[in-house]
């Protein structure tokens, strides 16, 4: 490793289960930040990520690919991915040289989706730790598909996974409910959206689970899991619709607050110009009605009142 002092650099490590929208988020955030005048670099950390939809400055596939590992070592996809991340951990000098080519930039690290990497396997955690030693100030952006909110059992599982990830990764952490524009495709939410984003009294979810014959016999287990989540009182979510500029801005401000990044004067002026411009004029995605508005602002009832009616 080089003994040269590294410049201070900010960024996000984008994590979450497969299919949660990590690459789409990186693409959308890359364009959003570019419109603000923030020089942004995307780093693909997923050796199984093929057909990248964004402009990638550093790509782990130049070092190792999942296909080569599976073929050469006769491993399955899970074992192969674990090996790939251990291989990257053993070759951090390669990563450092690649990152040194992009100074004075904001970094988006698009990470693999295997949950075990962020709950108990140490390679990715060690890579993040080394990035910190190279003077990176990072926030972990953990994406979770919002449709899990429609299923109480899955939502409690998501809460447990998010809490475990927060404790293991040891970075400033922002949990995101992604694909908010699609949230109702799997059924209407039992409660207002802020019940899920703020992770309010989970006993109401337990009552819903108790009504299901399958989950009724696991009532004590679910109760204990809910108590663990609430005792730590760490998990909350920011809703995200990547097609909505206001939603993207809310996520960006939350992430910037988490890792200490502050807007510059030029960036603020660009932001004001972009937000006041006609829809679609300077952001390629079309603006859609935010689900948060439908669930929170359009309802005159509080969350407690909604729950009391159930």
Residue 302 CB-half CA count within 13 A:
4
Q: Is 282 exposed, middle or buried (0-12, 13-18, 19+ CB in 10 A)?
A: middle
Residue of 171 and 188 predicted with greater confidence: 171
Q: What is the pLDDT, as a whole number, of residue 102?
A: 92
Asked whether residue 306 carries a pLDDT value surpassing 70, the answer given is no
Domain ranges of the chain: 9-200+235-299
Task: Write out pLDDT tens, residues 55-83.
Answer: 899 999 999 999 999 999 999 999 999 99
pLDDT in tens, 162-183: 999 999 999 999 999 999 888 8
| pLDDT tens figures, 237-269 | 999 998 888 999 999 999 999 998 876 666 777
- Tokens (6 digits) for 270: 């660009």
Q: What is the predicted pLDDT for the residue at 46?
A: 94
Query: Residue 144 pLDDT > 90, yes or no?
Result: yes
Pairing mode, if any, of strands 238-239 and 173-178?
A: parallel
> What does the alpha-carbon distance between residue 287 and residue 283 come to, in Å, rounded to a whole number?
9
The residue among 13 and 218 whose pLDDT is bigger is 13
Quick one: pLDDT at residue 262?
76
Fold adopted by 9-200+235-299: Rossmann fold (3.40.50)
């Amino acid at each position: 490793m080089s003994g040269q002092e590294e410049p201070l650099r900010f960024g996000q490590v984008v994590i979450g289960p497969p299919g949660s929208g990590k690459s789409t988020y990186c693409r959308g955030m890359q364009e959003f930040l570019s419109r603000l005048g923030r020089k942004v670099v995307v780093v693909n950390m997923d050796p199984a990520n093929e057909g990248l939809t964004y402009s990638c400055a550093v790509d782990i596939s130049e070092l190792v690919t999942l296909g080569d590992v599976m073929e050469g070592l006769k491993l399955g996809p899970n074992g192969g991915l674990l090996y790939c991340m251990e291989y990257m951990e053993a070759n951090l000098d390669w990563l450092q040289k690649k990152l040194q080519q992009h100074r004075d930039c904001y970094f988006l690290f698009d990470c693999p989706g295997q949950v075990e990497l962020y709950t108990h396997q140490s390679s990715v955690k060690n890579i993040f730790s080394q990035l910190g030693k190279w003077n990176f100030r990072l926030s972990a952006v953990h994406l979770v598909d919002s449709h899990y909110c429609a299923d109480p059992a899955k939502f409690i599982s998501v809460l447990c996974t998010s809490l475990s990830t927060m404790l293991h990764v040891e970075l400033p952490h922002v949990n995101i409910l992604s694909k908010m524009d699609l949230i109702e495709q799997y059924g209407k939410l039992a409660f207002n959206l802020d019940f899920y984003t703020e992770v309010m009294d989970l006993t109401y979810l337990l009552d819903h689970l108790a009504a299901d014959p399958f989950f009724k016999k696991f009532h004590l287990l679910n109760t204990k899991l809910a108590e663990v989540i609430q005792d730590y009182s760490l998990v909350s979510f920011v809703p995200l619709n990547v097609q909505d500029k206001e939603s993207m801005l809310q996520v960006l401000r939350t992430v910037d607050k988490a890792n200490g990044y502050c807007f510059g004067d030029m960036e603020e002026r660009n932001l004001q110009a972009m937000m006041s411009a006609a829809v679609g004029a300077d952001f390629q995605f079309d603006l859609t009605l935010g689900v948060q508005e439908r669930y929170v602002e359009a309802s005159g009832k509080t969350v407690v009142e909604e729950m009391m009616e159930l």
